[in-house]
Amino acid sequence: MKHLIVLLGPTGVGKTELALRLAHHLHSPIINADSRQIFAEIPIGTAAPTPKQQAKAKHYFVGNHHLEDYYSASMYEQDVLALLDRLYKEHDALLLTGGSMMYIDAVCDGIDDIPTIRDDVRTEMKRRLTEEGLPALVEELHQLDPQHWAIVDRNNPRRVVHALEICHQTGKTYTSFRKQDLRKQNPGNLSNTRTTPSGTTFDIIKVGLERPREQLYDRINARVLDMMNEGMEEEALRVYPLRHLNALNTVGYKELFHYFDGKIDHEEAVRQIQSNTRRYMRKQMTWFKKDARIRWFAPDNVEDILKYIDEKTQ
């Protein structure tokens, strides 16, 4: 049996360094599962593995796309499964690590069966967003699909509009197409195995990292300051002309764009980045805690983590 060890956890918990330890232990490359670290232009603000860290182990899906490229969780799922097909010819155990919930679920459970939106529906919803504004569409989603309204990022027009596009085109709720949500509501339907396109079945072993919340808050606040010292503001300024792209609708860049626009001062931008990163961390933990397959450890408990993985991969 082949194995896929999935090392996950919230932002700032300490996945990167532990992933290097596990990669060495498993003799495995590292398959990255971060939806923003794939973009080559923004390594600082996404805390992507540094060149020095990447030199210690082969990394996949780090800086391999550009901001203007279209890339989705569905495409990531297909790309990772194809990569696993190749890598399992030389490895019995592989390591995937990151904190992007949708990317991890796409590989472990399969992506949702979302219909392709017709051009006329897309054009109409784009018009309505421009004329009616995001708050009106958020309220409409609340009426049509309250279950998805409760979990969607209501400040992200792309996600709100897409859910409404599905509702109007199909006459069904967006939630009804969410296979992942249905599986999570019925834990007995969650599987610990998947199969690659060529037919190789692999076992999924999920290892979660967690710290006390106040400790995570302190680490996040400090990391934001480190990013600023490393040149995150200059990085954001370089990509400012592309600020309309969804790839930059991301904590760290949104706040700095507001600073560049004169809407907030520098101190407030940094404060908001810290606050919004902490909020995102809480969202990650809420999502991950729904998955009973995850075995949780403190990041410093390396020996127990290695022992657990060794037992599972025997």
pLDDT band per the 50, 70, 90 thresholds, residue 113 = low
Share of the chain above pLDDT 90, in %: 87
List every span in the chain annotated with CATH 1.10.287.890. Answer: 214-282
Whether 58 has a pLDDT exceeding 80, the answer reads yes
Whether 188 has a pLDDT exceeding 80, the answer reads no
Q: What is the mean pLDDT of residues 18-36?
A: 97
Whether 183 has a pLDDT exceeding 60, the answer reads no
Give the pLDDT confidence score for residue 287 in this predicted structure: 93
Whether 47 has a pLDDT exceeding 90, the answer reads yes
pLDDT, averaged across the chain: 94
pLDDT in tens, 91-111: 999 999 999 999 999 999 987
Q: What is the mean pLDDT of residues 14-21?
A: 97
Of the listed ranges 12-26, 71-85, 159-173, 180-194, the least confidently predicted one is: 180-194
The reported pTM is 0.80
Give the pLDDT confidence score for residue 181 in this predicted structure: 52
List every span in the chain annotated with CATH 1.10.20.140. Answer: 119-177
Whether 115 has a pLDDT exceeding 90, the answer reads no
Domain 119-177 fold is: Histone, subunit A (1.10.20)
Give the pLDDT confidence score for residue 285 in this predicted structure: 96
Give the pLDDT confidence score for residue 180 in this predicted structure: 54
Could you give the count of Cα atoms lying within 13 Å of 151 in the half-sphere of its Cβ? 14
According to CATH, the superfamily of the domain at 2-113+190-211+291-312 is P-loop containing nucleotide triphosphate hydrolases (3.40.50.300)
What b/e readout covers 134-152, taking b as 16+ CB neighbours within 10 angstroms?
A: eeebbebbeebbeebbeeb
List strand residue ranges (DSSP E) for the chain, in order. 2-8, 30-32, 59-60, 93-98, 193-195, 201-209, 295-297
The single residue listed with the structure tokens 């991950």 is 288
List every span in the chain annotated with CATH 3.40.50.300. Answer: 2-113+190-211+291-312
Whether 216 has a pLDDT exceeding 80, the answer reads yes
Give the pLDDT confidence score for residue 267 in this predicted structure: 98
Residue 58 Rama label (left phi>0; alpha psi -120 to 50; beta): beta
CB 13 within 8 A of CB 7: no
pLDDT band per the 50, 70, 90 thresholds, residue 246 = confident
Domain at 214-282: CATH code: 1.10.287.890
pLDDT in tens, 136-161: 999 999 999 999 999 899 999 999 99
CB 216 within 8 A of CB 281: yes
pLDDT in tens, 272-312: 999 999 999 999 999 999 999 999 999 999 999 999 999 99
Q: Round to whole Å and give the CA distance between 173 and 145.
A: 6
